[in-house]
């Protein structure tokens, strides 16, 4: 038997555990070193964030409130993993400065919802703009060829630290996935936005068309999962003219991005979108388009974060709820 064919002796579990335990102190030191480096690099050691009048906790609260259309203090405490008493003091400080307002929840008179006041939104805007500019400057300091690796590593870091039960994996679609995509889109969008069966029927049609027209050289679907449980999905397909169905040369379309509620905020959406962008570049597409709606604030922020630009909007009520449909575009460069 040749050396190449000689079976490898498996490492006993106890030995592997001992090796992992032996490596832990060095790994701890490296992660602590990264933490010190990064907090210094982005200015978190300063008394106030980004030379503003707000501390880091206050700034984070302003961000959360700016991106929620009303949220309870209890929900904020859960999302930020803050002690309720400490959070109450922070909120009281913001309210005393006129930056916060509260009102009774329309669906539950026992609950109070918190929102930024007009003064709060005015105070948050320059803070958000400066943070955006500072981060853009940080990325600009990295060679262009390495930026994708940097943001992908950040998404992986969030995924691993947010997943005590195992890391999130992206895999191609397989039999059974289309049914899951349809069912979860229908259930989640109805529960969160009241879109009903018409939207579920639209998703079913898109999934059917994907399977019937699938071209593995230029199209793909990815399912994000952890230990076999689906957490999200996204599709990248050849864009087509709506009237004729003919392909739009050099243009891809991102479709049916979904992240389960308990997986949001952990980088799953970022990883799915980055996968689409990387695949589109490999295929030689020169741009990626997508269609979304104005009420999907989280998705819109995600697209803007990765370079998409809003190019068209028009009102509609296709799913029984008045909203504004939006077309976004990301330019990639010349097609091959």
| DSSP-derived secondary structure for 241-301 | -TTT--EEEEEEEEEEEEE-GGGTTTTHHHHHHHHHHHHHHHHT-SEEEEEEETT-HHHHH
- Digit-coded pLDDT (tens) for 305-321: 899 999 999 999 999 88
Res 13: pLDDT: 56
Q: What region, left, alpha or beta, does residue 41 occupy, with left being phi > 0 and alpha being psi -120 to 50 degrees? A: alpha
Whose tokens are 């295929």? That residue is: 283
- Digit-coded pLDDT (tens) for 97-138: 999 999 887 666 777 889 999 999 999 999 999 988 988 898
Q: What region, left, alpha or beta, does residue 81 occupy, with left being phi > 0 and alpha being psi -120 to 50 degrees? A: left
Whose tokens are 């991005």? That residue is: 257
- Residue 101 forms beta bridges with which residues? 115
Q: Please give the structure tokens belonging to residue 99.
A: 């930056």
* Residue pLDDT tens, the chain, 336 long: 334 444 445 545 567 778 878 888 888 998 899 889 988 888 888 888 888 889 999 999 999 898 877 888 888 888 788 898 999 999 999 999 999 999 887 666 777 889 999 999 999 999 999 988 988 898 899 998 888 888 878 877 877 776 555 678 899 999 999 999 999 999 999 998 999 999 999 999 999 999 999 999 999 999 999 888 999 999 999 999 988 889 999 999 999 999 998 888 888 999 999 999 999 999 999 999 999 999 998 899 999 989 999 999 999 999 988 999 999 999 996 544
- Residue 223 forms beta bridges with which residues? 171, 233
Coil, helix or strand at residue 76: helix
pTM over 0.75: no
Residues 6+ apart with CB under 8 A from 243: none
Res 1: pLDDT: 38
Res 5: pLDDT: 44
Q: Please give the structure tokens belonging to residue 155.
A: 């998404």
Res 76: pLDDT: 85
* CB-based contact 63:50 (threshold 8 Å): no
Res 165: pLDDT: 56
> What's 172's DSSP letter?
E
The CA-atom distances, in angstroms, between 308 and each of 25, 87, 226, 273, 331 are 42, 35, 28, 11, 8
Whose tokens are 């969030």? That residue is: 158
**How, if at all, do strands 108-116 and 169-172 pair?**
unpaired
């Amino acid at each position: 038997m040749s050396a190449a064919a000689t079976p490898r002796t498996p490492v006993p579990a106890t030995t592997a555990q001992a090796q992992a335990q032996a490596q832990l102190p060095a790994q701890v030191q490296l992660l602590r070193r990264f933490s010190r480096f990064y907090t210094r690099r982005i200015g978190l050691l300063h008394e106030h964030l980004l030379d503003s009048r707000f501390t880091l906790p206050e700034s984070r609260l302003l961000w959360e409130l700016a991106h929620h259309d009303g949220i309870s203090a209890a929900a904020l405490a859960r999302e930020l993993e803050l002690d309720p008493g400490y959070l109450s003091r922070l909120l009281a400080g913001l309210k005393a400065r006129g930056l916060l307002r509260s009102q009774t929840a329309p669906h539950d008179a026992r609950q109070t919802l918190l929102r930024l006041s007009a003064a709060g939104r005015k105070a948050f805007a320059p803070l958000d703009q400066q943070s955006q500019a500072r981060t853009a400057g940080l990325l600009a300091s990295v060679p262009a060829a390495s930026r994708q690796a940097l943001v992908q590593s950040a998404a992986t870091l969030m995924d691993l630290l947010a997943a005590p039960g195992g890391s999130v994996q992206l895999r191609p679609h397989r039999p059974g996935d289309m049914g899951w995509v349809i069912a979860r889109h229908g259930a989640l969008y109805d529960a969160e936005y009241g879109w009903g069966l018409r939207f579920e029927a639209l998703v079913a049609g898109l999934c059917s068309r994907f399977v019937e027209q699938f071209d593995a050289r230029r199209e793909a679907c990815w399912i994000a999962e952890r230990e076999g449980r689906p957490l999200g999905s996204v599709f990248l397909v050849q864009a087509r003219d709506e009237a004729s169905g003919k392909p739009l040369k050099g243009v891809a379309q991102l479709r049916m991005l979904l992240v389960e509620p308990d997986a949001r905020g952990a980088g799953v959406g970022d990883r799915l979108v980055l996968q689409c962008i990387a695949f589109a570049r490999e295929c030689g597409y020169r741009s990626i388009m997508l269609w979304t709606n104005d009420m999907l604030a989280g998705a819109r922020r995600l697209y803007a974060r990765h370079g998409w630009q809003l190019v068209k909007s028009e009102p509609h009520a296709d799913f029984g709820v008045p909203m504004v449909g939006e077309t976004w575009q990301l330019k990639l460069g010349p097609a091959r």
